[in-house]
Structure 1
Amino acid sequence: MSKSLLFYCRPKRPECTLLEFMEPENDTQINRQFMQGHNRLYYHTWTTQPVTPKEIHVDSEDENDPVWLRQKTVKMIDEFTDVNEGEKELMKLWNLHIMKYNFIADCQIPEACEKFVENHGKEVILQNLCRNFILHMVNLFDFSLIGSETIHRTLALIERIKEEMGVSD
């Protein structure tokens, strides 16, 4: 019968410090404080560039619809072949509106509809897209994203804007 030997090693743990939270500013490993009592270096979420002291209170995630994304969205909608030009124009307006205000949840769609009419109502009327907009509202209702009261409110806003502009059906 052979004896087996068991070897174990308990490595020495490093002392607990907060140095792991300090990021090097440059190759010389020098850190400077951006705020009193705050030594951490932050990075922009989109560009991954270091945040300068004057930008420390600016949220880099505020721009959720960069120019290239808006252009790509418009281009993709223009490539549709099974919809008319009015539908394309309304889709562009709606999608860019949703991207600009970052509406991401179903419960935000009623607010998005009202804000859309406030911001783009005149455009919808001038481009003769009212019927397309009504169909869009009905589709949102059919998919249970909005209630009938939202349709009523937004169409009342459209009518009010028409009156202010002096436009009749």
Structure 2
Amino acid sequence: MTDFSRKNGLQSATTDISYSVFMDALTNLRQFGRKFYNADTMDVLNAAIKFIEDFADENEPDRETTKRLLLWINMKLGKFRGLVISDGLAVAILSLTRTLPKQGPLELCLKYLSKTGCNGNGVPGKSFSKYRAHFRPKSLSPEAKTHIETHFGGLAPEFVDL
């Protein structure tokens, strides 16, 4: 019978991990992932497990080496997660920047058009970015307006007509 009372809680994380506990955790994550993760994520987990198994080379690493392997794998999985997240963001930003008006090689600074305004990193009349410019465009795409509403509090009164 299972005890679901409040006195029953999660065990504290192990501070002194062994190689076998580490491998069990990775293989459990892979088992979970087979049902819930996509193929790319599973490839990363499989590669991590293969690397750790190959690293052991028939002998279990000592606890200090195991801790370093755990830290390394944790960093790599974190980096992979960041790439997965940023990949979606990069696509969204790219579709927005394609709609921005340009003044020569410089794109419009959306902060300039917003209620927040652009302080130009302390230089009046300049954009915070060397790739952006302050100017009044003839028109503004719906994507740009939505971005300004979402991230900068809306259009400044002098640009509401765009």
Which of the five TM-score ranges fits, normalised by the shorter chain? under 0.3
Normalising by structure 2, we get a TM-score of: 0.24
Normalising by structure 1, we get a TM-score of: 0.23
More helix per residue: 2
Tell me: higher relative CO, structure 1 or 2? Use CA pairs within 8 A at least 6 residues apart. 2
More strand per residue: 2
Larger radius of gyration: 1
